[in-house]
Amino acid sequence: MLSHKTLKFLAQSIGVGLLAALLLVVLSPLGSSLFKRLEAINTYNNGPFSYSKAVTRASPAVVNIYTKKQIRGTRRLSKTNPQLDRLLQNLYGQPYDRTITSLGSGVIVAPDGHILTNHHVIENAQEIEISTTDGRQFQAYVVGVDPDTDLAVLKINADNLLSISLGDSNALKTGDVVLAIGNPYGLGQTVSQGIISATGRNQLGINVFENYIQTDAAIHPGNSGGALINASGELIGINTITSLEGGNSIGIGFAIPSLLAQEMMSDMITHGRVLRGWMGVRVQNITPQLSQSFALGVSKGVIVSNVIRNSPAHMAGLTLGDVITHINEEPVFYERQILNQVIAYRPGDAITLKGLRRGQTIEWQIQIAQRPIYGTSY
């Protein structure tokens, strides 16, 4: 019969051996794979993953926006006969003002009460009312607007505001899970879930400057200006528009990236508007046919189709038909490129253009000015 000491020694040896074997399994690739499988099974058995923490973190910063605006119209004097109505309007019609109300969403981005939303949500509004998730209501005023990106910054005077955390919209990848929070159809705060369908969407004909996040998260009327958040509850976009056709979501929605919105907001708070470069020309792309017809001497670049009077380009001597090939040594191949390059400069910056005039090389020294609101030239 084994002694007590011998049994104790054997038990300790077996324990040490089992522990060593367990460590080898855990540290090996097979062990890692096994534990991941067990974790996946455990997650499956516990039900689907929840995004409630992300929503709880972000939703207090998403507000409802109600606006009122006055428009002038005339009363219909005949509701059944349009021709008679036009005749009676000419004889007796009196103009009258009526109030139109609309709704949208916004995001509190700073504890001091600054709110990001879409420009079209508050455009021409005489009154703007903000409703927070805790039931408080505030009158808001406009800090700045940027119609070219459809952004606006509002301000309310309030205490104990919960602002949203800013995420890195530059780090987004197709397939990332996102949540859209807003006030669709005036129902109150609503959350929809989807993924990033694409990033960097542009040339959609929606706004002058386009760099959209595309998502299949449902975005409906009233969601405009609301938050697009990641699975951690961080703001990665401002919802701006649903499908290109109609007002209902068809699985294609767009949002303005949060880092772009933050940059625009900083300018609007400091200057009341976004500072963008402008030199005052309209251009069109050079095609092989255009180059051959006018003997331009180049097959790529842009040709000046108009010069705005008294603009920086006009003062520098650009004229109709000039070809622009470089901006500060960077080649210019197409129209959209020159827009993006010029707006990146700040008013007061000096740039050098290179190009051709009647086949001869030429340079222009231009001092960049502030881009006009609703401007269509570059």
More confident call, 25 vs 178: 178
| Mean pLDDT value across residues 28-34 | 52
Length of the chain equals 378
The rounded percent of the chain whose pLDDT value lies above 90 is 41
pLDDT of the residue at 153:
96
Res. 104: pLDDT tops 50: yes
Contacts of 119-124 with CB under 8 Å at 24 or more apart are 119/145, 119/146, 119/147, 119/149, 119/150, 119/151, 119/152, 120/150, 120/224, 121/65, 121/67, 121/152, 121/224, 121/225, 122/65, 122/67, 122/152, 122/154, 123/147, 124/69
Can you say whether the dihedral through the CA atoms of 116, 117, 119, 124 is positive or negative?
Answer: negative
Neighbouring CB atoms inside 10 A of 344's CB total 12
Q: What is the pTM of this model?
A: 0.73
CB 105 within 8 Å of CB 58: no
| Residue 237, beta-bridge partner list | 228, 257
pLDDT of the residue at 20:
53
pLDDT of the residue at 46:
47
Minimal CA–CA distance to 219: which of 257, 191, 194, 249?
249
Minimal CA–CA distance to 60: which of 266, 257, 235?
235
| Top-tier CATH class for 277-370 | mainly beta
| Mean pLDDT value across residues 33-54 | 58
Query: Dihedral through CA 316, CA 319, CA 321, CA 325, nearest 10?
Result: 10
> Is beta strand 253-257 parallel, antiparallel or unpaired with respect to 235-241?
antiparallel
| Mean pLDDT value across residues 368-377 | 81
Model confidence at 98, pLDDT cuts 50, 70, 90, reads low
Res. 89: pLDDT tops 70: no
Can you say whether the dihedral through the CA atoms of 135, 224, 230, 208 is positive or negative?
Answer: negative
Region of poorest pLDDT, from 20-29, 270-279, 303-312: 20-29
| Residue 108, beta-bridge partner list | 115
Sequence ranges of the chain with CATH classification 2.40.10.120: 44-273
CB 167 within 8 Å of CB 179: no
Region of poorest pLDDT, from 40-44, 100-104, 125-129: 40-44
Q: Which residues are catalytic?
A: 120, 150, 224
Q: In Å, what is the CA distance from 270 to each residue of 50, 216, 319?
A: 40, 35, 35
Region of poorest pLDDT, from 31-35, 161-165, 313-317, 337-341: 31-35
| Mean pLDDT value across residues 162-169 | 92
| Mean pLDDT value across residues 153-158 | 94
Res. 38: pLDDT tops 50: no
Res. 201: pLDDT tops 50: yes
CA terminus-to-terminus distance, the chain: 99
| Mean pLDDT value across residues 117-130 | 92
CB 285 within 8 Å of CB 334: yes
pLDDT of the residue at 164:
94
Sequence ranges of the chain with CATH classification 2.30.42.10: 277-370
Minimal CA–CA distance to 194: which of 181, 183, 205?
181
CB 348 within 8 Å of CB 341: no
Neighbouring CB atoms inside 10 A of 337's CB total 16
Res. 5: pLDDT tops 50: yes
Model confidence at 273, pLDDT cuts 50, 70, 90, reads confident
pLDDT of the residue at 307:
92
Region of poorest pLDDT, from 52-56, 68-72, 84-88, 223-227: 84-88
The pLDDT tens digits of the residues spanning 295-306 come to 777 878 888 989
- Considering the domain 44-273 in this protein, what is its CATH number? 2.40.10.120
Res. 237: pLDDT tops 60: yes
**DSSP 3-state assignment of 271?**
helix
Model confidence at 76, pLDDT cuts 50, 70, 90, reads low
| Mean pLDDT value across residues 175-179 | 93
Region of poorest pLDDT, from 108-117, 243-252, 312-321: 243-252
Cα–Cα dist 367/270, whole Å: 22
CB 338 within 8 Å of CB 344: no
